[in-house]
Amino acid sequence: MEAAAIWFHIGPFAISSIVVTTWGVMLLLGVFSWLATRNLTLDPGPLQTMLEGVVSAMEESICAVLPDRAQQLLPFIGTLWIYIVFANLVGVVPHLHAPTGNLSVTAGLALLVFLSVHWFGIRSEGLRGYLKHYLSPTPILLPFHLISEITRTIALAVRLFGNIMSLEMAALLVLLVAGLLAPVPLLMLHIVESLVQAYIFGMLALIYVAGAVQSQQNSKRDEKGNEQ
């Protein structure tokens, strides 16, 4: 895939087409969210009903993994899902590339998940209690815990980047070979794959957060069991 074109500079920083597209996605989502939620009613119309259904579906998915913290995690995990879905779908628009087909973007998302895992873990049991789980069940495993944190973050970034980039490249190759004979199936494939990849990324982030939170709960139960 060709390198992102540089559109302009802000001081020493080069602003590429991927950055502009990302800003565009965030702006559109922000404006849409404001317009769609400014007149909420107890008797919802079609748009409000659809949005409530989407939020309920995301909340149910979170409850299936971490039921007692669904309200706490919904803003973060839900935002990840929504942003990644729309960022993936940008690739459907002619002459535009999905921001998630760029490793810098997916690395930023993975880093955000990495920091959020520790944030929720520390909020659950405090800094000392959270750091203690790296020494459980034995301090010998500390290097392996640290390596695991790094490798899963890298894997999270590379997985989304590789899938979206390969999807766009496959679509381009098929269009070059088949011309306009196969645009509709490719369009449907792109939409389905965009939804699937967003869901997988969000679920992995949720599982990582759940692991950080539940490890503290398990450690606490083990300590109580040892005291008894």
For residues 77 and 206, is the Cβ–Cβ distance under 8 A? yes
For residue 60, which of 81, 43, 45, 37 has the smallest C-alpha distance?
A: 81
The reply to whether 75 falls in a domain is yes
User: Does 2 reside within a domain?
Assistant: no
Q: Which domain holds residue 128?
A: 17-29+48-227
Whether residue 110 is contained in a domain is answered as yes
pLDDT tens string 79-132 = 999 999 999 998 888 778 889 989 999 999 999 999 999 998 888 778 887 888
pLDDT in tens, 166-207: 888 877 777 666 655 656 677 788 888 889 999 999 999 999
Number of domains the chain is built from: 1
Q: Which of 57, 204, 196 is nearest to 116 (CA)?
A: 204
Give a yes or no: residue 6 inside a domain. no
Predicted TM-score of the model (pTM): 0.84
Does 118 reside within a domain? yes
In a domain? residue 35? no
